[in-house]
Amino acid sequence: MTELTSNRSSSLLRHLFVRFGFLLAFFAFFVFFAAWNPVFLQGGNLLNIVEGSAILLIVALGMTLIVATGGIDLSVGIALDFGAAFAIVAMKSYGADWITAAALGVSGGSIVGIVNAILVVGLRISPFMATLGTFFIGSSVQRIFTNGGGPISHRRMPDEFRNLAMGDIGGVPVEVIVAAVLCVIYFLVLERSIHGRRIHAMGMQRLASIVAGIRVNRVLIASYIVAAMTCAIGGLIAAASIRMFTPLSGFSYLLDAIAAVFIGAALHPRGRPNVLGTIAGVLFLGMVVNGLNLMGLNFNVKDALSGIILVSALALAVAQRKMR
């Protein structure tokens, strides 16, 4: 009979792990960093975490949308780069005002989404392979355009554009406001609208969704384009903050965005990719980077540690998914 009891308590543990594993990890890291360096807990630092996470959050929203359709987008960084490049070039070479530049940046990003949509819907290539292809093509295009990858800087950009990254409204950084607005829109569309229901349904069971009358191709095309445009908005902020376009810089957000989405899905009671979870995932990753910084570790050690934590978080998310 001990066999039975131990079995039952282990299944309870398992349940708790599946449900609350990440919250525990989140909490443990939080306490650990706070204990190590009291600065961590100060209001200014917490705001730093949020501000430093804004671009990743925006990219992760786009990723959430694509993962919800049952795919994955490896070209989010390219869309981000295109957003930055189009905006910077429009201002520098064509003297565009900030609003035109921003609109062009977002349209430039949408090209990436259109290419993905053509590959995934038109040619029926799996999202992984299709967006990987877009990633390579987009990287080459950037190298060709910049003669091998040199940055395009634009020091005298309009203040309004600069303010996307440096300004604040009532003390809240503009990039945080932009990210928050996008979060609200994404939340309403993905979690509260009938369109979101269709996206989730087709992501979970495509054939059943077709039989239920969902035009899945249209949903997919729209999703890839909207996700790319979202990432391009992240690109605008990146361009504004360093006043230049650095080719291939978007790549660094890819793994973090995927991790944030999967952490978010693991936090959801039914394991779905979701906006609130993604926000939590992004903040978790931002907290880890910030906390490691405050520990004053050697740069290389810090990088290795954050990589290990990221991969562990992904592994934990995948393990949870399997245990459901």
Partner 1 sequence: MSNRLLHLDQVTKSFPGVLALDKASLDIRSGEVHGLVGENGAGKSTIIKVLAGVYVPDGGRLTIGGRVIDPITPESVHAAGVRFIHQELHLVPHFTVTESVFMGQEVRGRFGLDTGGMRRRAEAFLRDVLAVSIPGNRLIRDLGTAERKLVQIARALIDEAAKVVVFDEPTAPLASEECATLMHAIARLKDRGISILYVSHYLNEITDICDRVTVFRNGRSVSVFDDIEDSTGQDLIAAMVGRELEDLYPENRRTPQASLLELENYSGTGFRNVSFRLRAGEILGIAGLIGSGREELIDTIYGLRRSTSGTLRLRSRQLRMRAPKDAIDAGIVLVPRDRRHDGLVLPMTVSENVTLATLDAISRFGLENRRRARQQTEEQISALDIRPSDPEKVVRLLSGGNQQKVVLGRWLLKNADVYLLDEPTVGVDVGARSEIYALVDRLAKDGSGVIVSSSDPGELIGICDRIAVMMRGEIVSVLDASDLSLDHLISVTTGAEPTEAAHG
Residue 248 sits in the site that holds partner 1 (CB under 8 A): no
- In contact, 284 and 309? CB cutoff 8 Å: no
Which of the residues 260 through 279 are near partner 1 (CB under 8 A)?
Answer: 270-272
126 binds partner 1 per the rule CB under 8 A = no
Helical axes 159-166 vs 98-117, angle rounded to 10°? 60
Rounded Cα distance, 240 and 238, in Å: 5
Stretch of 75-83, 153-161, 212-220, 300-308 contacting partner 1, by CB under 8 A: 212-220
Which of these ranges, 71-79, 104-112, 193-201, 315-323, lies near partner 1 under the rule CB under 8 A? 193-201
Q: For partner 1, which is the closer residue by CB, 5 or 147?
A: 5
Q: Which token pair is 257?
A: 């965005």
At closest approach, how far in Å is the CB of 190 from partner 1? 11
Q: Judged by CB, which is closer to partner 1: 42, or 205?
A: 205
H/E stretch holding 96: none
Tokens matching residue 69: 């359709």
Residue 202 or 231: the one with the smaller Cβ distance to partner 1 is 202
Any contact of residue 124 with partner 1 (CB under 8 A)? no
Considering only residues 53, 139, 209, 320, which one is a binding residue for partner 1 as defined by CB under 8 A?
A: 209
Give the length of the chain: 324
Neighbouring C-beta atoms of residue 123, cutoff 10 Å: 9
Cβ at position 215, least distance to partner 1 in Å: 5
Euclidean distance between CA atoms 252 and 142, whole angstroms: 16
Closest distance to partner 1 from the beta carbon of 315 (Å): 22
CB 105 within 8 A of CB 275: no
Q: Find out whether 237 and 175 touch, Cβ atoms under 8 Å.
A: yes
* Rounded Cα–Cα distance for residues 91 and 227 (Å): 24
Does position 322 interact with partner 1 (CB under 8 A)? The reply is no
C-beta of 317: minimal distance to partner 1 in Å? 17
Q: How far is the CB of 211 from partner 1 (least distance, A)?
A: 5
Selected from 13, 38, 122, 215, the binder of partner 1 by CB under 8 A is: 215
* Binds partner 1 (CB under 8 A): choice among 9, 39, 126, 192: 192
Distances (CA, A) of 300 to 288, 305, 307: 15, 9, 11
Indicate the residue among 52 and 271 with the shorter CB distance to partner 1. Answer: 271
Q: Which is nearer to partner 1, 147 or 194 (CB)?
A: 194
Nearest Cα to 143, choosing from 253, 249, 248? 248
Compute the C-alpha angle 35/38/43, nearest 5°: 125
Contacts with 321 (C-beta within 8 Å, 6 or more apart), sequence order: 262, 265, 266, 271
Q: Which is nearer to partner 1, 210 or 297 (CB)?
A: 210
Where on the chain is the footprint of partner 1 (CB under 8 A)?
3-4, 7-8, 188, 192-198, 200-201, 204-205, 207-215, 270-272
